[in-house]
Amino acid sequence: MLLTDGARVAADPALRPAARWWRRVTEEAYGIDLVPVTDGPADVVLALAADLPAGGYRIEVREAPSGTGATPGTATVRVEAADLAGAHAAAQTLRQLAGPSAFRRAPADYRTAGTLPALPAVRVEDHPRFEWRGVLLDVARHFLPKHDVLRFVDLAAAHRLNVLQLHLTDDQGWRVQIDRYPELTRTGAWRRESTVGTWRTGSRDGRPHGGFYTQDDLREIVAYTRDRGITVIPEIDVPGHVEAAVAAYPELGTRKDRSGVRTTWGISQDVLDPSEGSLAFFRHVLDEVLDVFDSPWIGLGGDEVPPTLWRESPQIVERARALGLFDAGGTVDVGLLHGWFVARLAEHVSAAGRRAVVWDEAVSPMLPRDVVVTSWRGYAQGAAALAAGHDVVMAPEQVVYLDHRAGDHPAEPIPVGFLRTIEDVYSFDPFPPGLVEPPSSLVELVETQVSTSSTSGGAAAADHRQGRLLGAQAQVWTEHLDSARRVDYATYPRLAAFAEVAWSPQAAREPGSERSKEFLERLERHHLPRLDAYGVEYRPLAGPHPWQTRPGVQGYPRDLAAETAVGGWAGLGGWREDGGAENLPEWTPASDT
């Protein structure tokens, strides 16, 4: 059934942004006009429905009844949505139902009369499993021009994801204009050169790299993203991953010297001096970030913070002592400054009426309970944070780090991390049934947290509540993705597998299972043609195109089975006193042994 030129579209005022988006993409793709109407008969109706779960929708496409004056064979569409989020999801489904041609920016058959959008007669009713279906885009390691960020948003929305975490700052670049501290972008947004491949053996490209978003750019990204049903979470990473900020303002650093924006990858020892001055600086930064972004959540990072330089600084040791940061044996513990520092900034975010989001290393008894924890090193950290009363997003590097290698094809470009095929990602369970016992060190942490929070603020132990599993997030880190083309390759089609898991009820989806096979078939027959029509340079299922390979660039593959055997549900990732995964024998591909 067809939608014709001039079809009338009526939307409840609360759902208009979704209706407008769908009208615009359909008008572009088919070269027709769809007419918004506020009264009288309509061919497409979007209405609110009270009986649907949050984010849910219902679509019915029928042939226009005869006797209404409609041309035979034309469609009438009724969309009911629980809320605007549901209407956005429904709009994406409507585009999907029209087929790959709906993913073009202009009609491919413009020389002939053109094709009208054709919709099958269907009834669809659906709602999301999780309220947080996220994807992280790292624009710090490699700056992605705004145009490419907007394109990334379009594609994430097409997969009904609803959270985009923008990783805006790191050792290798500061990407957000802060009026009060202009050196952050004047100095911190640029690096002399980049490492090509793993930092362990990588070579230098000898070519400067950089860029940043003005506050107007970011406001535009926020508005654009909101119009597609996605919330952008800005992430300002502290107190580690700060070499770019320290290059701009050396007084922020532990060493106080101007070492420059980092040009290699890997975990940096150069973390913030956790001083009152650093706190004041980042409160000011956050005030501007809070003004630009309307997200209810603000990312504070908190991952990978080696306390090595803190230990060597008598002033910082004294500061930890003065703050009462002692280990269980009563010895001053500078490492606790990490959690202390993040907790202070989280309070600043809370005071502004938002909630901080932190990586799992930042969990400590000092962390306010309203802070959302993103569990990346493994699952156990997320389980422990839930038990401590935090809301949690599961993002374990064991499955949903899309910069990790998608195949063991010999020509896989810059193969880093764990081998995670599209089927592996499709089998992702954010809270697997075997995840019952967090390691004892985490249990201790939880118990301390519960007793701390029950003695402060008057909360009784009986008040203690388990946090909520908000959802899941896939990560696109860009150390080895230096262009939008490389981002496409790493992200797709695996993000499609992740998106389906984050949306639909948990099910057995193991590689090789009937469900997994059905998914792959559906992907090949229906979804890859949509990505082709849109112009996505995804990784072909059979392996990279020759021009997608990076011969001679050294990766650093990791062995998931070996790391899991040692680290269990907690993994071995991140900074560890014992070196963690770095102490395992180097992984070699099976084909080489």
Q: Contact residues for ligand ACM (CB under 6 A)?
A: 303-304, 359, 376
Q: Residue 477 or residue 503: which is nearer to ligand ACM going by CB?
A: 477
Tell the smallest beta-carbon distance from residue 130 to ligand ACM (Å): 20
**Tokens 């956790």 label which residue?**
274
Percent helix / strand / coil, the chain, rounded to 5 = 35, 15, 45
Residue 192 gets which letter from DSSP? S
Q: What is the rounded CA–CA span in Å between residue 302 and residue 389?
A: 18
| Joined tokens for residue 256 | 């106080």
470 near 386, Cβ under 8 Å? Answer: no
Query: What is the amino acid identity at position 45?
Result: V
Tell the smallest beta-carbon distance from residue 429 to ligand ACM (Å): 20
Q: What is the rounded CA–CA span in Å between residue 393 and residue 372?
A: 7
Tell the smallest beta-carbon distance from residue 92 to ligand ACM (Å): 28
Q: Residue 303 or residue 500: which is nearer to ligand ACM going by CB?
A: 303
Q: Residue 30 or residue 359: which is nearer to ligand ACM going by CB?
A: 359
Q: Residue 80 or residue 303: which is nearer to ligand ACM going by CB?
A: 303
Tell the smallest beta-carbon distance from residue 304 to ligand ACM (Å): 5
Tell the smallest beta-carbon distance from residue 303 to ligand ACM (Å): 4
Q: Residue 151 or residue 480: which is nearer to ligand ACM going by CB?
A: 480
Q: Residue 304 or residue 482: which is nearer to ligand ACM going by CB?
A: 304
Q: Residue 47 or residue 581: which is nearer to ligand ACM going by CB?
A: 581
Tell the smallest beta-carbon distance from residue 378 to ligand ACM (Å): 12
Strands 469-476 vs 392-394: parallel, antiparallel or unpaired: parallel
Tell the smallest beta-carbon distance from residue 573 to ligand ACM (Å): 7
Give 324's contacts (C-beta < 8 A, 6+ positions apart). none
**228 φ, ψ to 5°?**
-110, 15
Bridge partners, 33 (sequence order): none
E strand or H helix that includes residue 232: strand 231-238
**Measured on CA atoms in the order 410, 413, 418, 421, is the torsion positive or negative?**
negative
Tell the smallest beta-carbon distance from residue 376 to ligand ACM (Å): 4
Q: What is the rounded CA–CA span in Å between residue 302 and residue 359?
A: 6
Three-state secondary-structure class, residue 525: helix
**Tokens 């300002």 label which residue?**
236
Q: Residue 21 or residue 569: which is nearer to ligand ACM going by CB?
A: 569
Instruction: State CA 41 to chain mean position distance.
Output: 41
Q: Residue 270 or residue 303: which is nearer to ligand ACM going by CB?
A: 303
Q: What is the rounded CA–CA span in Å between residue 559 and residue 550?
A: 21
Q: Residue 170 or residue 500: which is nearer to ligand ACM going by CB?
A: 170
Q: Residue 450 or residue 470: which is nearer to ligand ACM going by CB?
A: 470
Cα-Cα-Cα-Cα dihedral of 373, 377, 382, 387, to 10°?
-100
Tell the smallest beta-carbon distance from residue 238 to ligand ACM (Å): 13
H-state helical runs in 78-227: 84-97, 146-158, 183-186, 215-226
Angle, helices 276-292 vs 336-351, to 10°: value is: 40
Point out the residue whose Cβ comes nearest to ligand ACM: 303
| Joined tokens for residue 297 | 């959540």
Tell the smallest beta-carbon distance from residue 171 to ligand ACM (Å): 11
Tell the smallest beta-carbon distance from residue 167 to ligand ACM (Å): 9
